[in-house]
Structure 1
Amino acid sequence: MTPLLELDDVRKHYPVHQGLILRRQVGIVRAVDGVSLRIAVGETLAVVGESGCGKSTLARLALRLIEPSGGTIRVEGRDVTRDGRAALRPLRRQMQVIFQDPFASLNPRMSVEEILAEPMLVHGIGDAASRAARVRELLGLVGLASYHADRFPHEFSGGQRQRIGIARALALSPKLIVCDEPVSALDVSIQAQVVNLLKDLQAEFGLAYLFISHGLAVVKHMADRVAVMYLGQVVETAPAKVLYANPRHPYTQALLSAAPVPDPTRRNARPALDGDVPSPMNPPPGCRFHTRCTVAQARCREEAPGLRPIGAGHEAACHFAETIPAFTRFGDSVRHPRLQARLALYEQKRAAMNAAGTTAA
């Protein structure tokens, strides 16, 4: 079946200039650097990674809001990589977006009815009466009452504003919705409501989601497949259940180990990530993750690993994906010597602090 959205070796590089009069290029920021992804009809593909890894830039590329530096973008098999504004106009109805900040993304001077009717006005859909009826239908779909149409964004809570944003994304009956961290600004209880609403709408209308997030618990509940990004590249992709049960890239394992555990008596066996993300202007040679990797070897510093299949629907960009220690989430022994040494040092410091506290008491 033809994918709904297909990205093939997509890149976005930003030149960095210096000087006010004699401007010259001094570098390139490789925000997205050779990403290939596919989203099927009705599927949710989640993209996760640390801040600055290129997730939001990838979302804007998928929507053709920015011009790619290279690669190919196809929608339902049609190449739209170089299409101009006129050719992209029909595409806009098929692809919509839900933003991270539910307040900043809504015009405070417009009522809810005007906000929801605006996409239909822009695309010349229906008359005033049909648009008003559609607005009330959209409010019902997202769990709001029809009388909310006359109110303004500041009169709603954060969760209600995000529901309005979801209703606006549905106004044109799209096939794909890009969700750019749609619940990260909401309370935990409200996050669950919004995620469940998105899943219900997907089941009802057959929507596909490109779900951008750094909340691994939300992604686990929401995604069919997961792509993990690091420094502008996808380092692992797999069905969500496979990825969470058996991550094969050290970066994915570190992200999962850093996720909070609801039980304070249990802790992850693998420590969280050390060090900072390298600059996208000057990424490390070889594997871009080797400067923070606990299993890196000489080959990693010299040879860049490509994304390659390691199982059914499972791909990883690691030279040792098949041989690195299996992910141990809670209570298991740490197998790598460097990790063992770090964990032992941590235990010594904690014992010393406890002893000092007992002596002071």
Structure 2
Amino acid sequence: MTVPLLELDDVRKHYPVHRGLVLRRQVGAVRAVDGVSLRIAAGETLAVVGESGCGKSTLARLALRLIEPSAGAIRFDGRDVTHDGRSALKPLRRQMQVIFQDPFASLNPRMAVEEILAEPMLVHGIGDAASRAARVRELLGLVGLASYHADRFPHEFSGGQRQRIGIARALALKPRLIVCDEPVSALDVSIQAQVVNLLKDLQAEFGLAYLFISHGLAVVKHMADRVAVMYLGQVVETAPAKVLYAQPRHPYTQALLAAAPVPDPAQRHSRPTLGGDVPSPMTPPAGCRFHTRCGFAQARCREEAPGLRTIGPQHEAACHFAETIPAFARFGGGARHERLQARLALYEQKRAAMIAAETTAA
């Protein structure tokens, strides 16, 4: 059996809540991540989707060992790194990198691009000044920027260009896993298409694995090999992307997909969209955590918490009635999805024409 590149086993992250100024006492805990198990193979893209506050970004930080887990195990390439200290984690940092959501806030405005891209190599003591400068030029070329951009500062670039710099920085140490924490959510649709295609090209060239955090269901459909759906700190459904979008079995997944707007009201999904408020992660509901918002909830759902179980080939869902709840036939995606798909197709055509022209000229 192939060893996963990254493995999370029943990982939890609870933030204690205290009360009192003099006699401080713990009165509860925010269960940001509450028993998540995931596996990512080398060269694979696993997307994690869910509403804001469901624990996606906390899960990403746990995977990178930027925060300490409250319980569970984290393994990278078969080695348990759950309790590794700072010095033991330093070599691991070269294998695991991150692309942040905000392409401006994640770049130091006082540093030129050359300094930003060379900094990871300086921290890890890689190469001399000449080799680092050559590597910076190579990284800029990989992400579609020119060598003269190395002397400029982040404020001199557009949002899409700044995100390309962030991608180049993530590639500087030649990692095997990159955590993409909503890397295109701050960009407009046309730029999203370019960045998504760039990420896919880099993955094909270097065999990268991605943990892809996103709200954009259309982007995830184009990007991911497998999808994990999170709700209130737990994974409620996992499946290959094509299977999940065609036949979602958990009511929460169905509601997320049905909530996407469609241009023609006559083609609106029959599935109900999400209603009500997300319960507090301090006091999640007993039984199934989604039962307070689920149109299919029964007495069993309020009393017994469903575990994540296999309901099909590579398809798991945490629902007592996953086999009997009807799945809607397709994911329409709405106008935003259609625009993104059109931009992706146009970008692919232009790229193919450029490659053909360069081949002819050579």
Cα deviation code 1:61-98 (max 9, x no counterpart): 00000000000000000000000001101000000000
1:254 counterpart residue number: 255
Give, as a single letter, the amino acid of the residue that structure 2 aligns with 1:142.
V
Q: What residue number does 2:239 align with? A: 238
Q: 1:262 to 1:98 in 2, by over 3 A?
A: farther
Alignment correspondent of 1:51: 52
Q: 1:192 — aligned with what?
A: 193
Q: Which residue of 2 aligns with 1:219?
A: 220
Offset from partner CA, 1:21-74 (integer Å, 9 cap, x none): 221111110000000000000000000000000000000000000000000000
User: Which is worse superposed, 22-31 or 112-121?
Assistant: 22-31
Distance 1:265 1:253 in 2: 18
Q: What is the SS of the residue equivalent to 2:149?
A: helix
Please give the TM-score of this superposition, normalised by the length of structure 2. Answer: 0.90
In structure 2, the residue matched to 1:340 is none
Partner of 2:137: 136
CA distance in 2, matches of 1:237, 1:114: 40
Deviation at 1:259, TM superposition (A): 1.3
Matches within 5 A, 1:106-185: 106-185=107-186
| Letter of the structure 2 residue corresponding to residue 82 of structure 1 | H
Task: Identify unmatched segments of 5+ residues in structure 2.
Answer: 333-362
Q: Secondary structure at the match of 1:10?
A: strand
Q: Following the alignment from structure 2 to structure 1, what is the Cα–Cα distance between the partners of residues 269 and 139?
A: 43
Give 2:19's aligned amino acid: Q
Aligned residue for 1:259, secondary structure, equals: coil
Gaps in structure 1 of 5+ consecutive residues: 332-361
Q: Deviations over 1:125-150 (max 9, x none)?
A: 00000000000000000000000000
Compute the RMSD of aligned alpha carbons: 1.1
Structure 2 residue matching 1:219: 3-state secondary structure: helix
Shift of 1:260: 2.3
- The count of aligned residue pairs is 331
CA offsets, 1:241-272, max 9 Å, x none? 00001000000000000112244553222231
Residue 7 of structure 1 and its aligned partner are, at CA, apart by 0.3
The answer to whether the 8 A contact 1:270-1:328 is kept is no
- Secondary structure of the 1:27 match is strand
How far does the alpha carbon of each residue in 1:284-329 deviate from its partner, in whole angstroms, 9 at most, with x for none?
A: 0000000000100000000000000001100000000000122255
Percent pairwise identity: 90
In 2: Cα distance, 1:122 partner to 1:218 partner: 33
Distance 1:177 1:53 in 2: 21
Kept after mapping to 2: 8 A contact 1:257/1:329: no
1:32 aligns with 33
Q: What secondary structure, in the 3-state scheme, does the structure 2 residue paired with 1:289 have? A: coil
Partner amino acid for 1:238?
Answer: A
Structure 1 length normalisation: TM-score?
0.90
